[in-house]
Structure 1
Amino acid sequence: MIWEIDDGPRAVEGLDEHGRPDPAYAAALGLIRAPYGRRVMATIVELMIFAVLALPGTIVGTLTALRITGGEDPMRMLQAGELLWPIAAVVISQALVMIFTIVQLVLLGRKGVTVGKAMFGLRSINVRTLEQPRFWRGAVVRYLLMYASFLVPIIGPVLVIALSPLFDPERRGRGWPDMAAAMWLVDVRRGLNPYDTKRMRIARKTLTTPEHEEKAPLPSLATPVDRDAPAEYVPSGRLSGGVIGAHRMSVGTGASEAPAPAPAAPSPVSPLAATPAVPAFAPSVPVAPTEMVDAVPPPLSPGQLLDSFAVQPAPHTPPASPPNVEAPSAPTASPAPASPTAEQIPPPSASAVEDRPGIAVRAVVVLDDGERIDVRGATLFGRAPAPVAGEGAVQLIQVADDTRSVSKTHFAILPARRGVIVVDRGSTNGSSLVRGGVETPLAAGDPAALQAGDIVRFGDRTLSVERA
């Protein structure tokens, strides 16, 4: 037994409470009505094609009809073969017109486009579902009404085809044939193409799905991307190479230096002690000073090590002395040598100073609308870019996109050791790198080096690298 589950009628989005199409919903998706001028031009082009196809048969048929009405005998002309080529011209001409009409109907019913609409960037859709129109009601009915308007010469086509879109009460440019066929003409050059299934689905989902409020980001333990960015989490008393979040900072860039450890306070020693306190063992291998001031005390010299481990003779205990004789003072512990100061640390190189954000331009990029952007550090591109926790100071570039093909944070351009790199931030429509005419998709999170002349394609927008 086969069970059939009836899900009921498919819910149609974009209808008001009375079941009528809502123009505000279509406008929110990015659909734009067809301009009146281009719509008229598309109709004129199609009528001209019809006229060119029908012109040979019309001329030959008219001349033959004039000869017959002028006194020529049709039977004699037929026996003499003078009617064969006029009849053939009329039949071929009408066949071409019929074939062109059928092609127009099929294209309109399946793709919502005709020859004239394709030339001027127009598409026909069902006004309720915003999808392809129905073949019989959408294509056949519309063409029958347009042909019927030619029964009244000049006045009929002008009123039905040219002037009726101006009387649309919804101001959507729908003429009387469009209303009868439940169709709507949209502009795909300046607006969303309703036959682009992927972008249409994204637009519907973006419109119906509410956006969650962004919460304050939690502090991150990750190392900042920018080398000279302020460290957010640096544990004290640990080496920078083995701690997550420890960040190497250049001296002289305004970063605070770790204070040198204070010398240990001398502790009193009992006069009966045999030997003084032995200092803690320190490694004898010298450690080269780094750019980050570590909290490890400097090593002792070999002479200090031998002196610290040498056995001191026990002090001689004097006999009982009078009360006014002072007891021998305890040996004073020598203070620990101070850590190296900032003067002993070598200054940063000139290249490190020039590469700091805000000073040196790492790259110059140009958007497809002509906007030039100087990349000085980590730069995020998108409709509403926002850095994640731990990225530090970044440059945010907001890219205008009416079709919503660009994600909020689409991709990032980051400074590298030599030049800059581009990284896709998990965008919906993805990014690609065009170099030498070859387009390579960018995997989310994988960096790719940029060179001068490269083009980064993201959504419907592009970006060219002028200098890197």
Structure 2
Amino acid sequence: MSTGESGQRSAQPTIWEVEDKQVTVEGLDAAGRPDPAYAEALGLLNAPLGRRALALVIDYCLWLLLQLPLWLGAMPLVFKLAAGEISQYGFMNHPSFVFSVVMASLTVALSLVLGVVQLVLHSVRGFTIGKAATGIRTVNARTLAKPGLGAILLRLLIVGAAGLVPLVGQAGFLASPLFDDRRRQGWHDKATGVWLVDVRLGLQPYDEKRMRVARKMVKAEPAPQRSALPSLATPLNPGTQPTYRPGSRISAGVLGVARPSREHTIVEPPELPPTQAGPSEPKPVVEGYVPPGPLATPAPGTAAQPPSTPEASAPPPAATQPATAATQHVVATGPVAAAQPQRIPPHPPLPPPTGCALRLDTGELISLATPVVLGRNPDPQGHPGARAVPVADDSRSLSKTHLLVRPVAGGLEITDCHSTNGSGLVRDGVEYGVTPGVPVRVVLGDTVRLGDRTAVVIPA
């Protein structure tokens, strides 16, 4: 193997390089402890003490129910042996001995299965059979996610160890939530870092979609104000202090504006006149344009002459193009009442675009020769002539059928299909809400928001 080949191979990254990703936990205070105010803002509520006690009773009664085969089928023979009615030889050769062993084994097996099921459900889904019946879930107090197997096992061991002190031990632990007014956490809950929440009246913490939306609403904060900077543009009035109007950027770096939070007022998009159907173009520079300003009033009977220039002193060429109204100077033939500055004539109306397309924030292009339905798994039924275009979305902010896009004269027409996270239109740095079921026209240069995704309207 040559030296050049070995150098190229060493420059290539190996498969053992793993990117170090740090998980950011939201809702912690400066000391890294869980902030109850953040959980309250999300909509999580403390589990009522009455329902917590009822859930414990249900789980305990279910365990007692599985002990019936042992007590009814095996314990009577054990009691006879303990009372001396039969000897050990008679106990082993008793006609009901096999039946007693089977019933005792059944109780042990069922109790073991129940314990494993309860432990797995509690650590992964946050509920036992009793908690599920009473609408209670257990979460990690710090991350508001599943508590984990280790925390649930430790919590069970702490309550079991408290039983070494008869009555007082377990009773004290079970009554300890009464001493916590903020989150109703018992001593065993605080020791293992878990929290019991109410899912009947509050938010379901194991509903990933609702938790994601709630976190976004709570996390949304106003954008920090930028410091005033001098403008490089020429002011209309040199005597006034110019103001700086910076452009906005979203987190992805695309020119536009950040998505507003739910607390902001959403206005309807303005209607575009027919002359604004296409993208704006720079105004042409007119030859002979005189900047705005006061003009000298000529004396009566004299004509107003244009400013003297070297080119003006030379005679004009014989063959020239005919002068237009925009390039001719106005010559006064009499007294002028008030001199008016000349202005650039407006540009002609822009022709409608021949076609539009959508460029997603990932760079993917979607042609729009025919109507399309966008979403994670869109269903074109109910939209005649439309084709389904699935859009990959790992954050699941898009609905299955999210947005209908139709090509129209001068741009596109978007209609929100009653999506969960809604749609929006960003135009000139302002985002407008799109009412579900109401079509809204968009033009070249506009940005369409679908959930957390964005798409820019570009020429086809």
Q: TM-score range by the shorter chain?
A: 0.3 to 0.5
Give TM-score, length-normalised by structure 1: 0.46
- Which protein has the larger Cα radius of gyration, Structure 1 or Structure 2? 1
